[in-house]
Chains A and B, each alone.
Chain A
């Protein structure tokens, strides 16, 4: 279980705001984090990863990642992170990108097999398509068999066909490895399809938290009410 209670002052494009998040996440949950741009989604993800500091506590299975004026560095957090721009190590080939994280050749080959990348093992990552790069990035993130998989808009740079393929692969890996996953997404379809729980962030506060069906019914009701 992951317990999060954090505060952070943000200086965004729409002026200053407070990120205030109080949250409990169950092991194995798939959470979609939604909200307008500038609502603090990416910052929340980066605070969880230890890439940015914040006040408050983060406890993961009784290990304090943040709290008591201490911040566990990202190196010690057992996190898988997927960036929107892939962020692959460009001086390495596909397999080397995975082995750099964890020198486990069998696991690397298994992941590449699952994502149909095996024949590209020795290709330089610079020559890959966007979809292939994001799949490499997904495999790389799973190499540590992380407690927490964080994804920052993993699908947004891809075309629709590639998006649905990657969606399936994300779900397959999430289930196979029993990872707890948080995905920042703008994409309502993907969030509905993938997640068991949706959080909506607005101006740094969680304004909705529930199962996808509940959230979408609620949101469409609001839209319906507004439009009347």
Chain B
């Protein structure tokens, strides 16, 4: 009984913050990645490998490296940080806005790569048929390309969301741990372990495992069902 009461009285603000961060990041990244993924899928230019390598960097870099550079670039002492603070009054480090910017870099490949490979798998003639039907590139992407890569689209959105919920190093460096502002679930767990509050850490962690598993399972079930009805 006591355990149940413990769970109910837990502070879920870090989880809400994690999901809010993930949702905002996913929406922004989708809008930004769509033209990039489309360009990469259709291009044969010499800049393509360069852009692909830059896009994939966050996968291989230690989060601390990424966090360090983002911190340097966004801090009020830098030109970018000063610009945003002077013009919009927005602080980019140790704030939720800063976390969103950092997450967009960190999760970029998880949005771009599935979309790009989805677009690359499309029949080129189908896209050309759309151009011949008088449709612009934008109309073709929205009405022909995206509806025909649904599994890749769902994968991109959900993995980006899940990956952002799961980030730790970058958010810790760029955001610190301000309750309700930058203290996301992963950081909260880290702090509990530090002060040896293992009970709460357990509950938070188990909750993370459960949610992550459900998210991944739903992606795989969806992709499996699409394959079954012959979409893939």
Contacts and interface: CB of A to CB of B under 8 A. Distances in A.
Interface of A: 49, 51, 73-77, 79-81, 83, 85, 87-91, 100-102, 126, 140, 143-144
Given A90-B148, A91-B147, A126-B230, A144 B134 contact: yes
B148 A91 contact: yes
B133 A101 contact: yes
Given A87-B123, A91-B144, A126-B230, A100 B128 contact: no
A82 B113 CA distance: 32
Interface size band for B: 10 to 19
B138 to A, nearest CB: 12
Contact of B134 (A49, A85, A91, A101): A101
Contacts of B130: 89, 100
A102 B133 CA distance: 8
Contacts, number: 56
Interface of B: 123, 125-126, 128-136, 143-144, 147-148, 230
Contacts of B128: 49, 51, 74, 81, 83, 87
A-side binding surface: helix, strand, loop or mixed? Answer: loop
A136 B230 CA distance: 20
Nearest to B144: A89
A75 B135 contact: yes
8 contacts: A74-B128, A75-B136, A81-B129, A81-B132, A89-B144, A91-B147, A100-B130, A144-B133
A77 B133 CA distance: 10
B126 A90 contact: yes
A74 B132 contact: yes
Contacts of B134: 75-76, 101, 144
Given A79-B132, A89-B130, A91-B144, 8 more contacts: A51-B131, A73-B131, A74-B128, A91-B147, A100-B135, A100-B143, A101-B133, A101-B134
A41 to B, nearest CB: 16
